[in-house]
């Protein structure tokens, strides 16, 4: 075996190992009850794919058809001063949660966070009172566009409990995909409780 062949095979092996490692951390979330971060429970009716949790945030991403086609994000115990999203650009300043926010302001904070990561023309379309288990909450819907011009729709449910934010956020392309799992997401939000 020549040196170049060795290098090529070693490279392939390394890439394979990296690929397998990353695959291992993407898991299926089967229908049934799910407890997130020992802080929130939801009832799932379809099989979702669970992305690895991003340690920099308090969020867990879920999808059925791929993150560009539908994204459900669970956030629990987000403390004051913490962002919902993160960036590697250290020159930028992220929107952060404030524990004295009113629930209407939480909706704005959520949409600002989506704007920060590139969603354009984010617009709140409805904000209504709701319950997160026993905790006072709001549910809101919104629209936005991604840079390529594709229009998105979204809905979310938010509550502040013990000065920490609990948020279930869903968004998908307005055409076809949003409606495809809308009922499932409504059911998940209806079932959500704070532990």
Partner 1 sequence: MIRLKTLFFGATMALLSACASTNVDPIEVGARPDKTTDEAGLWQQMDEYEKDLRASALLERDPALNAYVRSVVCDIAGEEYCNDMRIYVVKRPYFNATMAPNGLMEVWTGLLLRAENEAQVAFVLGHEFTHYKNRHSLKNWRAQRNASNAGLLLTIGAAAAGAGAASDLGGLVALSALYGYGRDLEREADEEGFDYVTAAGYEGREAAALWQSLMDEIATSDSRRKKRRVARASIFSSHPLTKERIATLQDKANQMPGGVTNEARYVEMTGRFLDEWLDADLVRRDYGENLFLVNKLIARGDRLGTLYFRRAEAYRQRRGEGDDVKAIEDYTKAATYEDAPAKTWRYIGDSYRRKGNVDGALSAYQTYLEKAPNSPDRAVVQLFIDQNS
Q: Which stretch binds partner 1 (CB under 8 A): 50-58, 120-128, 163-171, 185-193?
A: 120-128
Cα distance between residue 50 and residue 63, in whole Å: 7
Burial of 61-88, coded b for 16+ CB within 10 Å and e otherwise, reads: bbbbeeeeebbbbbbbbbeeebbbbeee
Of 5 and 100, CB closest to partner 1 = 100
Q: Does 2 bind partner 1 (CB under 8 A)?
A: no
Q: Does 167 bind partner 1 (CB under 8 A)?
A: no
Write the binding mask 64 to 103 for partner 1: x where contact by CB under 8 A, - elsewhere: --------------------------xxxxxxx-x-x-xx
Size of the site for partner 1 (CB under 8 A): 34
Q: How far is the CB of 142 from partner 1 (least distance, A)?
A: 9
Of 55 and 148, CB closest to partner 1 = 148
The enclosing H or E element of 17 equals: helix 3-24
Of 70 and 113, CB closest to partner 1 = 113
Cα distance between residue 194 and residue 102, in whole Å: 18
Q: What is the sign, positive or negative, of the torsion defined by CA atoms of 54, 60, 66, 68?
A: negative
Of 41 and 151, CB closest to partner 1 = 151
Q: Does 173 bind partner 1 (CB under 8 A)?
A: no
Q: How far is the CB of 147 from partner 1 (least distance, A)?
A: 6
Instruction: Look up residue 118 and give its DSSP letter.
Output: T
**Contact set for partner 1, span 28-67 (CB under 8 A):** none
Q: Bridge partners of 36?
A: 40
Burial category of 138 from C-beta neighbours within 10 Å (exposed 0-12, middle 13-18, buried 19 and up) = buried
Cα distance between residue 177 and residue 154, in whole Å: 11
Interface residues with partner 1 (CB under 8 A)? Answer: 90-96, 98, 100, 102-105, 107, 112, 115-116, 120-121, 124-129, 138, 140, 145-151
């Amino acid at each position: 075996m020549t040196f170049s062949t060795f290098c090529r095979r070693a490279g392939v092996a390394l890439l394979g190992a990296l690929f397998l490692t990353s695959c291992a951390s993407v898991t299926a979330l089967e229908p049934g009850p799910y407890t997130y971060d020992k802080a929130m429970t939801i009832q799932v009716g379809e099989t979702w794919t669970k992305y690895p949790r991003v340690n920099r945030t308090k969020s867990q991403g879920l999808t059925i058809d791929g993150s560009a086609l539908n994204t459900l994000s669970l956030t629990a115990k987000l403390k004051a001063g913490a962002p919902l999203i993160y960036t590697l650009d250290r020159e930028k300043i992220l929107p952060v949660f404030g524990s004295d926010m009113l629930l209407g302001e939480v909706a704005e904070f959520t949409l600002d966070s989506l704007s920060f990561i590139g969603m354009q023309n984010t617009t709140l379309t409805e904000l209504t009172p709701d319950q997160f288990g026993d905790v006072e909450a709001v549910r809101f819907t919104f629209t936005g566009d991604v840079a390529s011009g594709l229009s998105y729709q979204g809905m979310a449910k938010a509550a502040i409990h013990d000065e920490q934010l609990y948020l279930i956020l869903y968004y998908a392309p307005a055409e076809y995909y949003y409606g495809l799992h809308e009922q499932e997401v409504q059911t998940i939000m209806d079932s959500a409780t704070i532990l």
